[in-house]
Structure 1
Amino acid sequence: MALVCAATAAFILMSVRGTAERYKTEEVIAAAVRVVYLINRERLPPVMLDEEVTGIQVLNPKGQIVSTSARILGRPRMAAFRPSESSPQANKVLCHSPAFPEQCVIVVAFRVPQPDGMWIVYAADYQVPRYVNAPLVTALVGGSLLLIALTAFGTYQVVGRALAPVEAIADKLGVITATDLGQRVPVPKFRDEIRRLAETANQTLDRAEMAVEQQRRFASDASHDLRSPLTAMRTEIEEALLHPEEADWPSTGETLLESLDRLQALVTDLLQIARLDAGAPPKHDRIDLAELAAWELDRRQRKVEVLRELTFGTEVIGDRLRLARVLNNLLDNAERHASSMLVVKVDRDEDRCVLEVVDDGGGIPPDKREVVFQRFTRLDAARSKDAGGTGLGLSIARQIAESHEGTLTIEDSSMGARFVMRLPSAPKE
């Protein structure tokens, strides 16, 4: 608004000054015409009292001042220019006139033919100031300041009302802490960008609350699962120390080793989950999924019969160690639940490579197929059949599959549980 007011004021001053200057030039011309009339009537006095202009001088053909106005009596010739032969009149703005040495004046010159030669009439008046006059400048400045003040006040009020919801959102976010994530920021009633900001903030708080709750459950479950083998080990040792002579130390050692194995497996899984949660990117090696499955199956000790249906040449881009971890976690899970055998399949499905691990156990109910991928989840059947699992293997396997832009799901099967991992095929070389 200040720029607009400044531009408008400048335009008004220029327009008014131009009009005033034209009007003053016309006044000077009129004064000179009156003098020409007096010359032609031979009624020209030596000193004129024309107060409408600042000064008038009449020069005879010899260049002598024969008549002048009272205001500039005794001053030298005000101008040296003459009208051209084709025009009886000429006018200029002079800022260094001998008669007016310190100011700029508008000077009009007329040629007046007489019997003794060509006479020259000069009429002058002060030039209009750039600011035209003080009252006009005062009015423009005062009006501009008033308009700027009104604009500033109106803008402050409008912006204040518009940003009031933002202030409320900021105040609410300022009091929300990690221990009190149940609060939400107020949502404005108008459907605008601020409402979208509030909704996005609430969605972020929802995700943060879910993440914190998940971390709390994870910490609680991890502490429980870590405490179980430690408690078992402590019980075995305390019982043996109560009756050291009667204790079966080899049996006690084997029991402790089993608890240590479980503890070691749990710590290993926790470290793997920490790495995955940290978002460490996988390597980008070219891997034949069938060869990887054959290699892992060859080096494993079999607990049940394993049937292979491997299609070689199914290549993916990924981290060999992590994909091997997925296969071993699926095999460990399948072996714990299989009755007598399991099947490992590797094949290609359009632009995807598919790894399947199928067991002949009791299967997983459809309503539990997503639950088993949650951390520290073990179904009742798994708990009663084998307590060796940590409850983290399937969760780790799915996280690794998703870090490779793939999926790991449980699909329908004619027998047992069927785990299916799909990964993007490697581009052809």
Structure 2
Amino acid sequence: MSVSRHWSLRKRLTIIASVVMALLSLAVAVLALLGVHGLAESYRTDQITNASLKVVHLVERGVLPAVLPATEVKYVQVVNSEGRVISATPALLGQPPISHMTISRSAMRAGREECALPAFPDTCMIVVAFRVYREESDWTVYAADTAVPWYVDPRLVGLLAAGSVLLVVITALGTYRIVGKTLRPVDDISAELAEINVTDLGRRVPVPAAHDEIRRLAVIVNQTLDRLEKLVEQQRRFASDASHDLRSPLTAMRAQVEAAMLHPEETDWMEVSHAQLDSLERLEALVSDLLMLARLDAGAPSTRELLDLSQLVTSELNRRARRVHVSRVLEPGVKVYGDRLRLARMLTNLVDNAERHASERVTVTVAQSGGTAVLEVLDDGTGIPPDKREVVFQRFTRLDAARSKDAGGTGLGLPIAREIAREHGGMLTVEDSPIGARFVARLPLADT
């Protein structure tokens, strides 16, 4: 069994097809032998019966010779009622009766196959007996010939064996060739995949012309390569942007320290310390966002509980004062199943983003609509152009200076918010509004 696991699919299918054909050929050969054997045995019995009838006619006409002429059946005897052989063919002269088969009173004939007869100790014989009515007593005509062997004739066995072997060989060759031709596209796909690496993701596997399972496999592989190429490109941009954003505060901190060290007596060290803290806070925020994205991308498990979304919003908005006025339109009893910390992070990111771009007011709305919980954050800023509404959810995306190059943004808040919404079975989108940007998160309502 362990050896067959290392065989190719082509070899295994060829062996299976050959074994099946061999079994079918064996079954057909056995059935053919049984059929031919039955025909041959019937023909042999008819021969013996005809030979017996000829002797019966001789007895009835009273012209029975002491030595019967040899015909196609060599073993014929005529036995009287006392069991004495009256006449026989040359092969049975001087022999006792070849059989003691009895014929019922209501029948004229009997026949069967007998083995180990005294005259034929090592052979099975087909024996046919006829009753002949005589005036003084009944006589019996016995005729016998060798039984047909199970194989009928060696030439028949040889013919069946040769035909079976020929069928098995043709099946094996045909299967090997057909399977090889069928699997050739798979070999081409495997060869192409083996040559594709991270630096050459633009290549694609060949798609067969036939509309079969292998074509579907090739199409799915190419679609997977498309997604992989996009993901790798996204990861490359992410790594590049992350390194740039991480390097920026570090560079600023280094420049501030080096400038202070050049003129230590003229440096306001308290101001330098505050500047360093600002850079560290930005660096800490960026690292925190990167860790959160890494956990979301890895599918890290979260703790789910029944939450009142309006209460959660109230609690988070009361934590700290905002630069602009935050209005609340909160419908009570809107409940969802989710991770409290992550949903709070989604809300904080949305409100922070709205606060940075609002002129005077931010409105947070909680409601339920059509079996979903709706969380909406609206600012009165410049808004987002329709063609940029998906772009803002890309990591480290930079739009114009008014919306993206602000003092507190890392370029990761909105992507994190969308990933949290998706993790909870919902969606975060930018929708139309008369003024400003309107972010709408829709989450499944909890079954209560």
TM-score, scaled to structure 1: 0.95
Taking the TM superposition and a 5 Å limit, the aligned residue runs for 1:248-327 are 248-327=268-347
Distance 1:256 1:75, change over 3 A: farther
Code of the residue aligned with 2:348 in structure 1: it is N
How far is 1:37 from its partner?
2.5
Q: Structure 1 regions of 5+ residues with no counterpart? A: none
Taking the TM superposition and a 5 Å limit, the aligned residue runs for 1:17-56 are 17-56=37-76
Aligned residues between the structures: 428
Identity %: 57
> What is the aligned counterpart of 1:419 among 404, 423, 439?
439
- For 1:248 and 1:384, locate their aligned partners in 2 and report how far apart those are by CA, in whole Å: 31
> What is the aligned counterpart of 2:378 among 358, 367, 376?
358
Contact preservation (8 Å) 2:109, 2:131: yes
Which residue of structure 1 aligns with residue 165 of structure 2?
145
- For 1:262 and 1:361, locate their aligned partners in 2 and report how far apart those are by CA, in whole Å: 23
Q: Residue 264 of structure 2 aligns to a residue in which SS? A: coil
Q: Residue 378 of structure 1 aligns to a residue in which SS? A: coil
Which residue of structure 2 aligns with residue 381 of structure 1?
401
User: Is 1:161 matched up with 2:181?
Assistant: yes
TM-score, scaled to structure 2: 0.91
Which residue of structure 2 aligns with residue 345 of structure 1?
365
Which residue of structure 2 aligns with residue 79 of structure 1?
99
Code of the residue aligned with 1:20 in structure 2: it is A
Code of the residue aligned with 1:195 in structure 2: it is R
> What is the aligned counterpart of 2:356 among 336, 341, 358?
336
Code of the residue aligned with 2:412 in structure 1: it is L
Q: Residue 59 of structure 2 aligns to a residue in which SS? A: helix
Distance 1:231 1:74, change over 3 A: farther
> What is the aligned counterpart of 2:209 among 180, 184, 189?
189
> What is the aligned counterpart of 1:241 among 261, 265, 270?
261
Which residue of structure 1 aligns with residue 235 of structure 2?
215
Taking the TM superposition and a 5 Å limit, the aligned residue runs for 1:55-94 are 55-94=75-114
> What is the aligned counterpart of 1:368 among 363, 366, 388?
388
Moved more, 257-266 or 108-117: 108-117
Contact preservation (8 Å) 1:364, 1:417: yes
How far is 1:234 from its partner?
1.3
Contact preservation (8 Å) 2:383, 2:437: yes
How far is 1:143 from its partner?
2.3
Q: Residue 373 of structure 2 aligns to a residue in which SS? A: strand
Contact preservation (8 Å) 2:426, 2:444: yes
How far is 1:74 from its partner?
4.5
Which residue of structure 1 aligns with residue 130 of structure 2?
110
Q: Residue 123 of structure 1 aligns to a residue in which SS? A: strand
Query: What is the alpha-carbon root mean square deviation over aligned residues?
Result: 1.8
Which residue of structure 2 aligns with residue 172 of structure 1?
192
Code of the residue aligned with 2:419 in structure 1: it is Q
User: Is 1:230 matched up with 2:242?
Assistant: no
How far is 1:73 from its partner?
4.1
Contact preservation (8 Å) 1:109, 1:120: yes
Code of the residue aligned with 1:399 in structure 2: it is E
- For 1:416 and 1:28, locate their aligned partners in 2 and report how far apart those are by CA, in whole Å: 113
Contact preservation (8 Å) 1:281, 1:403: no
- For 1:265 and 1:114, locate their aligned partners in 2 and report how far apart those are by CA, in whole Å: 128
Q: Residue 241 of structure 2 aligns to a residue in which SS? A: helix
Q: Residue 359 of structure 2 aligns to a residue in which SS? A: coil
Which residue of structure 2 aligns with residue 401 of structure 1?
421
Distance 1:335 1:86, change over 3 A: same
